[in-house]
Structure 1
Amino acid sequence: MGQALISAEQHGRQLAKARQLFFDRGDRPAELIDPMVLRSWERCRRFGLSEAEGHVGGESLDRATLHTEQERNHLLLRQSRPIMEQLYEQIRESGSMVILADQNGLILESVGDADFVSRADRVALMAGASWDENLRGTNAIGTTIAEEAPSAILGSEHFLEHNGFLTCCASPIFGADGRLIGVLDISSDYRNHQRHTLGLVRLSSQLVEKRLFESQHARDILVCFHSRVDYLGSPGEGMAAVSPDGQVLAINRAGLQLLGIRRVDAVRRDFSLVFETTLAGVIDRARRDPQAICEVPAGRDRTFFLRLRGQAPLPRALGRTYDDLPTAAPSRREAARTPALTLDTLNTGDAQLQAAIDRSRRVLGRDIPILIQGESGAGKEIFAKAFHNSGPRRDGPFVALNCAAIPENLIESELFGYQGGAFTGARKEGAPGKIQQAHGGTLFLDEIGDMPLHLQARLLRVLQERSITPLGSTKAIQVDISLLCATHRRLREEVARGSFREDLYYRLNGLCITLPALRERGDIRQLAQRLADLEAGQRAPVAFSERAMTAIERYAWPGNIRQMNNVIRVAIALLDENEALITESHLPEELFDAAPAATHAAPVAVPGDATAAGSYALPPLAGASLDEIGRQAALRALDAAGGNVSAAARQLGISRNTLYRKLGRL
């Protein structure tokens, strides 16, 4: 039955003896119990708790009061929820639950297996209950807060006897300023304890801390660093937030540990005093190559690898004041010189997307094909373009081909090109195919799962031989391409059905990236605002009312980013010239009638489906201006209202005069 069972039995016997010595005889069983647990037991005794108490800790908060506390901790919740969901996926159906508590031990939110959750409810291990040590005795949440360190409290290590069926592992969450702001915990039945659980929850708390740091310092220059280059982008990398004039504003816990210094010795000091190099030098190098990694000394014969994280625009010049900082958007010349869409600009705070970005960044510049998977509308082509712009081929062409959008009899000529007169209707001078057009750059094949089998064989030869032969020609043409493919299909299943070649699948699947569906992302607010900023263009910046943003957050978005962008385009088009606030009246009723995203079904939206975004939302109009979109939405609403202008205006959330102006822009 293995060593694990023997160890559990031995642990149980030691605990029983330790409890007898401590509670019955008043001894300190230091040799039988973890020092952290013993310190906690002693604190609980000083609190006046009795190990045999059956009902302690007071009443749980009512729903309204709990909601108030959740609002007070909204930043912690926003950054923790995606991590909690990911963590739960790792332990699902193991009789466990994931818990988030605030700095006082109040449980803010939890997710877990129903059978264990019902048992946990009996001891008030649920949202609204406080698990501070002075109320619940020794427990992972309360002990972690008291010790400000990760803890694992197993079975009878809990001070209160009626909590002995639990095993709990918790890790503290520290804010960007180094203060404890919360605790992440995994609780389960004592018999189900897994040795890796504490490591899993510690890693997850690091991810939350990283998201909090990036969110709080989104407007500052972020410098990521580590003593090992392959650790850049990992949860354990150091991060420093730096002002444009070179002053260190904050350093995360991992960074302080790597540097071996105290927070007070780093914050508000010049960047060059911490890293023995100037921030100007690092920025200059980053301007030449956004993915550049700098190797710099940091005292005591240590070397660190640094990379800038492009959340905030870099200053054109560095000095001791802000006089030289840019105050306007980049000029057309600057925009052309530096691609606007990169992997860094895609990051708006979602953990799953960040993981995909970090993984793909590691293969930039390498001859490794990438397979991007995700639902329709999840942004696969945007991700591919951002990857292209972030690598050494950024100055080369980016050529995209949707294999599902071209008739089967034309895909071959589109992909491989043809010689003049190769087939009826062919141009006399012939035409290069997409592969040849992408020479020196990146070829993106969208919906690769829809490529016909006979063309899959030809594509495989191209990838192996690095040459193509156009239709009607016998001359091979050498090509140098970076290949990215995307699909919403499960290619493994297609291989099993025989509709996709197994050898091509393994050739394409050098690195598989899965993009999260929009309903699974934790950065809805940031993404919606970014899309609004892009759609607003030259007009005044727009914002969202809290009710409008809440509706956007709660909606399941079956059409993903494509659908959200369409809704926002229409909402902006409906704003009058002097309006800058999108309210719930500018959004389609669909967003308010649907179930919340957490419980919403996930149908795959048909691109351009107007009903997916509400009664007046329109399919995206290629090249259409906001004025034209507004006019089409007004006409659609007027038609739905049977020509009643007042009713149409009410439906759109605009005045009658505004509606007339929209209709008059012919």
Structure 2
Amino acid sequence: MPQPASHRARTPQPLFFQTPDQRTALARERFFEEGIRPSGLVAESVLQSWLRCCSARQQPRDAVSFEPVSRSRVHASLSRNRQLLQAGNSELGHMEAALGGTDCRVLLTDAQGVIIHATDLPQARDQPLLRAASRVGVNIAESHVGTSAPGIVVRTGEASTVAGGEHFHQCLQGLYCAAAPIHDIHGQLAGVLDVSVEGGRFPFDAAAVVGTYATTIENRLLQLQSTGQLLLHFQASPTFLDTPLEALAGISPHGRVLWLNGAGRRLTGCHMEDQPTVDSVFGTSIERLMDLHRQKRIQTLRLPNGLGVWIKGRLSGGDGADFNHAVAVEGLRAPSPGTQDHAHTAHTAHTAATAVAVVDAPAAVVPAPSPATRATLVDHSQRLIEVTLAECGGNIAKAARALGVSRGMLYRRLQKSASQHVPASTLGEAQSGDASA
């Protein structure tokens, strides 16, 4: 028997719901119809996005048009984000292959929310919204399409998941998306990686998947942007090195920590308010960290905060030359954590200081480097150029090929060194040798 209207009005609404969609529906009712803040029913990031959309005078019933930006802006965005696309090239392919059995689409946007890569799914079931949105040049920032996972990430720089009715606009409530940020070496947002599906929830943990791939792309981008730096790879377990879980750091030629990725900040406890010294962050000198590059082996290191880590280093030249292929060192055994003795440590330090050699170079033309030549990365780079030129008989063309750089670039490096009072004979002999070639 139906209850009187007055009795029905006094019946309290249920406080708990069986499905996320029911909670979202109640949140929308309270927020959009009753003007009540639905705390606890949706994520705070979603609620803040709703508030921003309302402040921008957007209406939930408004239609959303996924119109691309101008061609000139698309071209400018693609050109400006060339390194980001390069960093994500292989990982985007791997991610799309992993999701190949689903109807999910992968989107990569720039820092402003303009799509610079989108998955093409011609065989996917009917997806009118994603088909319209998943095009290079479409702006999916919050100011254009209201609340969405990539829009929230563009605005806040934090990972986000937006499901169904959590989208501000009613016409987008069939979408489910998860997005994660990608940062550059300055700590600024470089792009957003998003995975979206239409018509149903993800059948897997989309936030975890997109977060893993975003971290991998970010790590690749950081390394691409770090030419001329000593790159440190470290973690509390050697198993995590060369994985998305590894910590990374970029060290300047003068012994300053220029950047740390997220894992690096968590392990060291350094939040990079400025550019701290390597001694304050890693508890060691720039000379020892440079030895990591020469040794080509994973070593152990005790951080100032007491945490023991496994660490290795890689040095790349500021002009794009990677010096790993040209410098080798006698094999050194990586010590096990907590088992180093003073004699072994002293022997390791002595070997690292004296055993540098050029690959396949005759011993007669490879003088042992003095401590002064190991003082900075710049000195190390110049020393390598001099040794390679000596090995190639002063022929610039051969030396450039050996170093993996152009002949013009090597000329410029030599001229710069000459202007900084590097012995002029090196430059003169190199030029005459190249001319004779």
The verdict on a shared fold, with TM-score over 0.5 as the criterion, is yes
In the TM superposition, residue 330 of structure 1 has moved relative to its aligned partner by 6.5
Aligned to 1:43: 52
Q: Is 1:97–1:117's contact at 8 Å kept on the other side of the alignment?
A: no
CA contact (8 A) 2:147 2:168 kept: yes
Structure 2 CA distance for partners of 1:158 and 1:532, relative to 1, 3 Å: farther
SS class of match (2:40): coil
Shift of 1:32: 1.6
For structure 1, the 5+ residue unaligned runs are 1-6, 336-530, 544-576, 579-626, 628-666
Which residue among 213, 216, 221 is the counterpart of 1:207?
A: 216
Q: 1:532 to 1:154 in 2, by over 3 A?
A: farther
* Partner residue in 2 for 1:104: 112
Deviation, structure 1 residue 88: 0.6
Matched residue type, 1:68: A
**One-letter amino acid of the structure 2 residue matched with residue 298 of structure 1:** L
Superposed, 1:140-219 pairs within 5 Å as 140-219=149-228
Task: Label 1:320 to 1:175 Cα distance change in 2 as closer, same or farther (>3 A).
Answer: closer
Q: Matches of residues 430-579 of structure 1 in structure 2 within 5 Å?
A: 534=401, 540=407
SS of alignment partner, residue 102 of structure 2: coil
1:226 touches 1:304 (CA, 8 Å); kept in 2?
Answer: yes
- Aligned counterpart in structure 1 of residue 256 of structure 2, from 218, 236, 247: 247
Aligned-partner SS, 1:308: strand
Q: The residue matched to 1:233 in structure 2 has which SS?
A: coil
Amino acid at match of 2:197: S
TM-score, structure 2 normalization: 0.70
Q: Which amino acid aligns with 1:104?
A: Q
Shift of 1:120: 3.1
- CA distance in 1 between counterparts of 2:126 and 2:75 reads 20
Q: How does 1:306-455 map to 2 (within 5 A)?
A: 306-311=311-316, 312-313=322-323, 317-319=373-375, 322=378, 326-329=382-385, 331=387
Deviations 1:389-443 (A, max 9, x none): xxxxxxxxxxxxxxxxxxxxxxxxxxxxxxxxxxxxxxxxxxxxxxxxxxxxxxx
After TM superposition, give the deviation of residue 100 of structure 1 in Å. 0.6
Matching residue's letter, 2:277 = D
- Aligned counterparts of 2:377 and 2:139: Cα–Cα separation in 1: 47
Offset at residue 190 of structure 1 (A): 4.1
- Separation of aligned partners in 1, 2:126 and 2:246: 35
Once the two structures are overlaid, the 10-residue window that deviates more, 296-305 or 81-90, is 296-305
Deviations 1:269-292 (A, max 9, x none): 3211211112312333553x312x
With the length of structure 1 as denominator, give the TM-score of the two structures. Answer: 0.47
CA 262–110 in structure 1, closer or farther in 2 if over 3 Å, else same: same
Q: CA RMSD in A?
A: 3.4
Higher relative contact order (CA 8 A, sep 6+): 2
- For 1:180 and 1:186, the matched residues in 2 are separated by 18
Which of the residues 77, 88, 91 maps onto 2:85?
77
SS in structure 2 opposite 1:326? Answer: helix
Deviation digits for residues 566-593 of structure 1 (CA, Å, limit 9, x no counterpart): xxxxxxxxxxx99xxxxxxxxxxxxxxx
AA in 2 matched with 1:299? P
Q: How much has 1:214 moved relative to structure 2? A: 1.0
Q: Does 1:304 align with 2:309?
A: yes
Determine helix, strand or coil for the equivalent of 2:194: strand
The answer to whether the 8 A contact 1:536-1:542 is kept is no
Shift of the alpha carbon at 1:307? 0.7
Change (3 A) 1:109 1:161: same
Q: Is the 8 A contact 1:172 1:182 kept in 2?
A: yes
CA contact (8 A) 1:92 1:113 kept: no
- Counterpart CA distance in 1 for 2:271 and 2:225 is 20
Q: Quick check: 48-57 or 326-335, which moved more?
A: 326-335
CA distance in 2, matches of 1:333, 1:533: 9
| Counterpart position of 1:88 | 96
> Is contact 2:129-2:172 (8 Å) kept?
no
From 275, 284, 291, the counterpart of 2:282: 275
Amino acid at match of 1:34: A
Give the 3 Å change call, closer, same or farther, for CA 106–281 of structure 1 in structure 2: same
* Unmatched runs of 5 consecutive residues or more in structure 2: 1-15, 317-321, 328-355, 357-368, 392-397, 411-433
CA distance in 2, matches of 1:34, 1:257: 25
Q: Secondary structure at the match of 1:193?
A: coil
Is this contact kept in 2: 1:116–1:188, CA < 8 A?
Answer: no
Q: Quote the Cα distance in structure 2 between the aligned partners of 1:95 and 1:22.
A: 32
**DSSP 3-state at the match of 2:407:** coil
Pairwise CA distance, 1:123: 4.8
In structure 1, C-alpha distance between the alignment counterparts of 2:388 and 2:110, rounded to whole Å: 47
Closer, same or farther: CA 324–155 of 1 in aligned 2, 3 Å: closer
Cross-structure match for 2:296: 290
Note the alpha carbon deviations across 1:12-66, whole angstroms, 9 max, x for none.
1111111111111111111321222112111111111111111357x32244442
* 1:60 match: 68
- TM-superposed deviation, 1:294: 2.3
Amino acid at match of 1:173: I
1:557 is aligned to none
Q: Deviations over 1:274-333 (max 9, x none)?
A: 11112312333553x312x22222223222221113544379533379557534537479
Alpha-carbon separation, structure 2, partners of 1:326 and 1:187? 49
**Matches of 1:19 and 1:537 in 2, distance apart?**
60
Question: Residue 177 of structure 2: SS of its match in structure 1?
Answer: strand
Once residues 307 and 212 of structure 1 are traced to their aligned partners in structure 2, the CA distance between those partners, rounded to angstroms, is: 19
Q: Which amino acid aligns with 1:278?
A: S
Q: Kindly indicate whether the alpha-carbon contact (under 8 Å) linking 2:257 and 2:278 is maintained by their aligned counterparts in 1.
A: yes
Q: 1:308 to 1:173 in 2, by over 3 A?
A: same
For 1:191, the aligned partner's letter is G
Give the residue type in structure 1 aligned to 2:148: N
1:536/1:161 CA distance change after superposition, 3 Å: same
Partner secondary structure for residue 240 of structure 1: strand
In 2, Cα distance between equivalents of 1:83 and 1:299: 35
Cα distance change on mapping 1:28 and 1:223 into 2, 3 Å: same
CA contact (8 A) 2:248 2:260 kept: yes
* Partner Cα separation in structure 2 for residue 149 and residue 196 of structure 1: 17
The corresponding residue for 1:258 is 267
Tell me the equivalent position of 2:25.
16
The count of residues paired between Structure 1 and Structure 2 equals 341
Q: Distance in 2 between matches of 1:285 and 1:261?
A: 21
- CA shift in 2, pair 1:109/1:8, >3 Å: farther
Which residue in 1 is equivalent to 2:421?
none
Distance in 1 between residues matched to 2:227 and 2:126, nearest whole Å: 37
Matching residue's letter, 2:104: S
Q: Distance in 1 between matches of 2:173 and 2:406?
A: 62
Corresponding residue number in structure 1 for 2:416 = none
